[in-house]
Amino acid sequence: MIEIALSCIGLFCLLAVAGAGLGRASAGRFIVYGGCLLIGAILFGTGLLAIAEPAQRIALPLGVPWVGVHLRLDALSSFFLLLLGLGSAGASLFAIGYCAHDEEPQRVLPFYPLFLAGMTLVLLADDAFSFLFAWELMSLSSWALVMAQHRESGNAQAAFVYLLMAVFSGLTMLLAFGVLAGPTGGYAFDAMRAAHPSAGLTALIFALALAGAGSKAGLVPLHVWLPLAHPAAPSHVSALMSGVMTKIAVYGFIRVVFDLLGGAPWWAATIVLAVGGITAIMGVLHALMERDLKRLLAYSTVENIGIVFVGLGLALAFKANNFPAGAALALTAALFHALNHTLFKSLLFFGAGAVLHATGTRDIEKLGGLLQRMPLTSAAVLVGCFAISALPPMNGFASEWLTFQAILLRPELPQWGLKLSIPADGALLALAAALAAACFVRAFGIGFLGRPRTAAAGNAHEADRWSVAAMAGFAGLCLLTGLFPGVTIDLLAPVAHALVGAAMPWQTGDAWLTTIPVAASRSSYNALLLFVFVLGSGGIAAALVKRFGSSGLRRSPAWDCGFPDPSPMTQYTGASMGQPIKRVYGALAFHARDVVDMPAPGDTRAATHTVTRTDYIWDGVYVPLGQAVTWVSTYLNVLQFLTIRRYLGFVFILLILLLMALALWQ
Amino acid sequence: MLRGISFDIAHMLAGFLVLASFLMLYQDRLYALLNVLALHAFILALSVAWQAHIQHAPHLFITAIIALGFKAMLIPWALRKIVFRLGIHREIEAVGGIGLTMLAGIALVALSLEVMLPVTAHTDPVAREDIALALSVVLIGLLTMVTRRNAVSQIVGFMSLENGIILAATGARGMPLVVEISVAFSVLVAFIVVGIFLFRIRERFDSVDVGAIDLHRGGRQ
């Protein structure tokens, strides 16, 4: 199995070379994306088959001398390999059609397979060197993809912020591995598993891994690159970055904290829980205010990463208290949600790409009425919106419900810190889920329903068949994983066994395919039954309304009271829909202010309405940081203009100081 | 007994090298400084040859010959020609008083002994004190470079620093010949580059006082 995965990495590299060579040729698109589609499918199959197998290893005589490259395929990496294969196959299928009108394909084609190769290698790495190499390969190649459309304003800055955050993430992961390896320098993961660092070092490694993986995944306050980089990248790349790369970061966190460190103390779990809860709520609040479709999706990714980390925090809490059943439930919920997020967020980014291609804009206030013009895309996006809003029987509901089930196991925990923080997290998560539903009602309602607000939206056309196939496929997968959550839960059993020593009860044996998190007496969920009920009750309601409510279609002049002007400008807008929520939460979260400038009676100038928002995290953390760097470099600039003798003097004094330190230290 | 004498002679030569470094620190005339450089390299060649003898390492003789040929003869002679052709002001302006510099040099020797003797406690006694003395030669070479304003004397400081490195390297057994030869050549290349550089500076600024370059860059004195 691992040989197959390894050869897939090799094939990705070959495709990268082919992409560089083919460049502008139209065959390049078919070869590179078609190849990535096939390899993605192979990786998916490999993950699926290897997940229940014992871990496999392979060592390559490459890389650092005498260390080599150690690779390992175990249950955890198999699951993420499956997720990666699925996400990359879908994105590649979408890209075959989507990139047909790409003006500069040579900027994307070489880096796209390289990005996939980097992510695959992260999953297989079994020593810190190869892990970090792959991690950086993933960051750098995705940076090149963010830079692909570098002439558009703002993209270069987005790529710069992304690169800075990637450097930060790489650095913290490097330090985490450095501390894990200890003074003897055991950089193989086996040596790290065997080492048992002291309590202080464990805390340090945990904090570094949370910061390193969190900045790649998009945890608040390290999420700033997501809303910048996702809109800048081409849509199929955004889908990969959001749907797959953030999951690779989650994998990094799980690998270091759950596997190499073997768990964390209970107070660490409260930190993960707090960060996860805040991330979820901040992400969705930002998403609600956003009018750029891809930025909205990026903020929603932040929210979903928060949900995943809440699940991981719960798993850590249960694991620290020797409650494996609870830990297995929480971990399964987190991983399941990661998979679901890959499915529906990729789907929604495909939809956003199709809309962008059809209308040329990402601004939902300039869309509208796409349901008639792009029926297939709209239907697929609607399914994605259902799933991401966690409506049963879609997959988003199944995983969020499992997370809530894990939250309800809280009374089993002894620590008051956890007893108090978990319900607070539950409340945050419930609020985030409700707001996410509102957010996607707004996105779909404003973007796809109603009448077109601009000529561009009015002239929209359906996406090409490759893109539609990718969207339809993912919409079907969202429904299927939602209807049969037991299949995924059982698939995750070996992963949970390996990491927390237990698994959830076996699900697919039940005749009615009921999902049982802990015991049937506590709670259960049957998606299939619910689906039948939703279909049945919805159908009956529709039939009744049609029969009694509006028998026969009437066409008559519109009653113009309140709607005298047929201009599409009079429609409900996204801003007006987000306004009540901005009133309630925005004042606290963003310092949002509405300023209405009403001219005096008799004055003929127009009234204006301005909304101001403050991003506390950007203004409070990143702006001062940037200013500090500028300040320091301005002052260090003096060093550029010293005499040769002084430079020599610096070297000399430093040497003397070091020697003196050595003499005193002995 | 024989071992004692060979040990003492090795130390005596290394000690002479440190003394020559002090001479260099003291000199305020360019020609005299170049003479001291030649003497410095000559002592180095003697010292390396002695090491070759007591270590039974014939390849070290090549190092000694390189030191004698290049550093004791060729480079001082070439530098002398440069000084003559450029008509450089023959007095060296030092930063800080000579006495203060000498005191600093003594402190450096003490420091390098203090650092090196405990570190190399378990090695061969010949190498041990050689390395301590070599480090003081290196440090005094750096001090020479830092305290002189004249470019030629900075080159001289650099050459003496390099001599210290060679001394340390030959003291430690088993340095491959390739490394020594490449070091020797790198010094030669550095010399050529700096020599050409000196002519260019001179053409442009009518002086080889490095302060002139700094003024040109808009820096401070």
Contact between A462 and A374 under an 8 Å Cβ cutoff? The reply is yes
Q: Please report, for residues A7, A17, A39, the alpha-carbon distance to residue A14 in angstroms, rounded to integers and kept in the order given.
A: 10, 5, 12
Q: Is the pLDDT of residue A496 over 90?
A: yes
Chain A residues whose beta carbon lies within 8 Å of the beta carbon of residue B210: 643-645
Of A652, A659, A660, the CB nearest to B146: A652
Count other C-beta atoms under 10 Å from residue B68's C-beta.
Answer: 19
Q: Is residue A656 less than 8 Å (CB to CB) from chain B? A: yes
Element holding A469 (H helix, E strand):
helix A465-483
Q: Please report, for residues A99, A229, A232, A470, the alpha-carbon distance to residue A92 in angstroms, rounded to integers and kept in the order given.
A: 10, 19, 18, 9
**Which pLDDT does position B219 carry in this prediction?**
52
Residue A60 or residue B214, greater confidence? A60
Q: Is residue B132 less than 8 Å (CB to CB) from chain A? A: no
Contacts of B133 (CB under 8 A, 6+ apart): B11, B14, B15, B17, B18, B112, B167
Contact between A497 and A325 under an 8 Å Cβ cutoff? The reply is no
Residue A476's nearest CA partner among A544, A403, A395, A537 is: A395
> What is the pLDDT confidence band of residue A417, given thresholds at 50, 70 and 90?
confident
Helices and strands of chain A, counted as H and E runs:
28, 4
Residue A387's nearest CA partner among A249, A231, A243, A582 is: A243
Give Rg (Cα) of chain A: 26
Contact between B146 and A642 using a beta-carbon 8 Å cutoff: no
Q: Is the pLDDT of residue A460 over 80?
A: yes
Q: Please report, for residues A219, A324, A510, the alpha-carbon distance to residue A518 in angstroms, rounded to integers and kept in the order given.
A: 29, 11, 14
Query: How many beta-carbon pairs below 8 A join chains A and B?
Result: 51
Chain B residues whose beta carbon lies within 8 Å of the beta carbon of residue A652: 139, 142-143, 145-146
Q: Is the pLDDT of residue B220 over 60?
A: no
Q: Is residue B87 less than 8 Å (CB to CB) from chain A? A: no
pLDDT mean over A409-414 = 82
Q: Interhelix angle for B125-147 vs B98-119, to 10°? A: 150
φ/ψ (deg, to 5) at B53: -65, -50
Residue of B95, B106, B142, B155 best to disrupt the A interface, most CBs of A under 10 A: B142
Six-digit token pair at A604? 């003929």
Q: Is residue A666 less than 8 Å (CB to CB) from chain B? A: yes
**Which pLDDT does position B175 carry in this prediction?**
61
Number of separate domains in chain B: 1
Fill in the amino acid letter for A302: V
Q: Is the pLDDT of residue B1 over 50?
A: no
At B42-59, the pLDDT tens digits run: 999 999 888 888 888 788
**Which pLDDT does position A411 carry in this prediction?**
80
- Give the integer Cα–Cα distance in Å for A417 and A267: 8
Chain B residues whose beta carbon lies within 8 Å of the beta carbon of residue A665: none
Residue A279 or residue B170, greater confidence? A279
Fill in the amino acid letter for A633: S
Contact between A63 and A130 under an 8 Å Cβ cutoff? The reply is yes
Q: Is residue A635 less than 8 Å (CB to CB) from chain B? A: no
Chain B residues whose beta carbon lies within 8 Å of the beta carbon of residue A662: 115, 119
Give the residue on A whose Cα is nearest the Cα of B95.
A645
Burial class from Cβ neighbours inside 10 Å (0-12, 13-18, 19+) for residue A547 reads exposed
- Give the integer Cα–Cα distance in Å for B43 and B65: 12
Window 108-127 of B: residues touching A by CB (8 A cutoff) are 108, 111-112, 114-115, 118-119
Residue A373's nearest CA partner among A458, A487, A472 is: A458
Contacts of A476 (CB under 8 A, 6+ apart): none
pLDDT mean over A389-407 = 92
pLDDT mean over A523-533 = 87
> What is the pLDDT confidence band of residue B205, given thresholds at 50, 70 and 90?
low
Contact between A118 and A88 under an 8 Å Cβ cutoff? The reply is no
Residue A121 or residue B85, greater confidence? A121
**Which pLDDT does position B114 carry in this prediction?**
86
Fill in the amino acid letter for A408: L
pLDDT mean over A422-439 = 93
- Give the integer Cα–Cα distance in Å for A287 and A601: 38
Give chain A's mean pLDDT. 89
Q: Is the pLDDT of residue A386 over 90?
A: yes
- Give the integer Cα–Cα distance in Å for A576 and A567: 17
Element holding A56 (H helix, E strand):
strand A56-60
Q: Interhelix angle for B177-205 vs B210-217, to 10°? A: 70
Contact between A93 and A37 under an 8 Å Cβ cutoff? The reply is yes
Terminal C-alpha separation, chain B: 57
Fill in the amino acid letter for A480: L
Of A643, A649, A663, the CB nearest to B115: A663
Q: Is the pLDDT of residue A57 over 70?
A: yes
At B59-95, the pLDDT tens digits run: 888 888 888 888 888 888 888 888 888 777 667 677 7
Six-digit token pair at A48? 């699926």
Q: Please report, for residues A15, A88, A98, A148, B118, the alpha-carbon distance to residue A21 in angstroms, rounded to integers and kept in the order given.
A: 10, 22, 21, 17, 60
At A301-356, the pLDDT tens digits run: 999 999 999 999 999 999 999 999 999 999 999 999 999 999 999 999 999 999 99
Residue A109's nearest CA partner among A13, A232, A16, A26 is: A16
Chain A residues whose beta carbon lies within 8 Å of the beta carbon of residue B143: 652
At B92-105, the pLDDT tens digits run: 677 778 888 899 99
Chain A residues whose beta carbon lies within 8 Å of the beta carbon of residue B211: 643
Q: Which residues of A54-79 are buried (b: 16+ CB within 10 A; e: fewer)?
A: eebeeeeeeeeeebbbbbbbbbbbbb
A77-91, A104-118, A615-629, B174-188: lowest mean pLDDT where?
B174-188
- Please report, rounded to a whole number, the percentage of residues in chain A having pLDDT higher than 90: 59
Contact between A582 and A574 under an 8 Å Cβ cutoff? The reply is no
Contact between A432 and A303 under an 8 Å Cβ cutoff? The reply is yes
Task: Kindly tell me the sign of the dihedral angle through the C-alpha atoms of A585, A586, A588, A589.
Answer: positive
3-state secondary structure A513-536: CCECCCCCCCCCECHHHHHHHHHH
At A632-644, the pLDDT tens digits run: 999 988 887 777 7
Q: Is residue A641 less than 8 Å (CB to CB) from chain B? A: yes
Give the residue on B whose Cα is nearest the Cα of A646.
B146
Of A641, A656, A663, the CB nearest to B219: A641
A59-68, A503-512, A549-558: lowest mean pLDDT where?
A549-558
Q: What is the DSSP string of A151-201?
A: TSTTHHHHHHHHHHHHHHHHHHHHHHHHHHHTTTT--BHHHHHH----HHH
Chain A residues whose beta carbon lies within 8 Å of the beta carbon of residue B208: none
E-strand stretches of A559-620: 593-597, 608-612
Give the residue on A whose Cα is nearest the Cα of B139.
A652
Q: Is residue B95 less than 8 Å (CB to CB) from chain A? A: yes
- Give the integer Cα–Cα distance in Å for A138 and A353: 22
Q: Is the pLDDT of residue A375 over 90?
A: yes
Contact between A644 and B118 using a beta-carbon 8 Å cutoff: no
At B106-147, the pLDDT tens digits run: 999 999 888 887 777 776 766 777 788 888 998 998 898 888
- Give the integer Cα–Cα distance in Å for B116 and B112: 6
Pinpoint the alpha helices (H) of A125-154.
Answer: 128-146
- Give the integer Cα–Cα distance in Å for A283 and A287: 6
Contact between A644 and B214 using a beta-carbon 8 Å cutoff: yes
Task: Kindly tell me the sign of the dihedral angle through the C-alpha atoms of A469, A335, A278, A615.
Answer: negative
Fill in the amino acid letter for A369: G
Contacts of A409 (CB under 8 A, 6+ apart): A318, A323, A326, A329, A518
- The residue segments making up the domain with residue B167 are 2-217
Count other C-beta atoms under 10 Å from residue A296's C-beta.
Answer: 28
Contact between A663 and B221 using a beta-carbon 8 Å cutoff: no
Contact between B38 and B76 under an 8 Å Cβ cutoff? The reply is yes
What dihedral angle (degrees, nearest 10) is formed by the CA atoms of A118, A121, A123, A127?
A: -120
- Give the integer Cα–Cα distance in Å for A162 and A598: 42
Domain ranges of chain A: 266-538, 573-598+606-612, 616-665
Contact between A337 and A465 under an 8 Å Cβ cutoff? The reply is no
pLDDT mean over A410-421 = 83
> What is the pLDDT confidence band of residue B221, given thresholds at 50, 70 and 90?
very low
Contact between A199 and A266 under an 8 Å Cβ cutoff? The reply is no
- Give the integer Cα–Cα distance in Å for B187 and B185: 5
Terminal C-alpha separation, chain A: 53
Contact between A209 and A176 under an 8 Å Cβ cutoff? The reply is yes
